[in-house]
């Protein structure tokens, strides 16, 4: 399993977030910031990007990156989620 950071910026017109929210429900996940999710998955960054591309408009933007155990944050809602001792990196 990997932890992927997924962020997006939905532009006008449209800005339909529900398909993204529905997509993320299939994963063990944490919604850390307004447009930032961490997901635990066996999918690659490319696979997640391609999945999201089918759910967003052509003028929207998305970014997916695998993260490691080397991270730092302040006030980040997903800190405890990332520090879960059962998490397998």
Contact between residue 11 and residue 59 where contact means Cβ atoms under 8 Å apart? yes
Q: Which domains, ranges and CATH numbers included, belong to the chain?
A: 2-69 (3.30.70)
* pTM for the structure as a whole: 0.92
Q: Write the pLDDT tens digit of every residue in 8-26.
A: 999 988 789 999 999 999 9
- Residues 62 and 35: their CA atoms lie apart, in Å, by 10
59-80 pLDDT, tens digit per residue, is: 999 999 999 999 999 999 999 9
Cα separation, 48 vs 23, in Å, equals 10
Tokens of 69: 């155990």
């Amino acid at each position: 399993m990997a932890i992927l950071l997924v962020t997006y910026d939905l532009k006008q017109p449209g800005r339909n977030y529900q398909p993204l929210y529905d997509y993320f429900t299939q994963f063990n996940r944490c919604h850390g910031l307004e447009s930032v999710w961490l997901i635990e998955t066996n999918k690659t960054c490319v696979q997640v990007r391609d999945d999201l591309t089918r759910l967003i408009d052509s003028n929207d933007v998305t970014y997916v990156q695998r993260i490691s155990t080397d991270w730092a944050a302040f006030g980040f809602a997903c800190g405890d989620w990332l520090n879960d001792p059962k998490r397998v990196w």
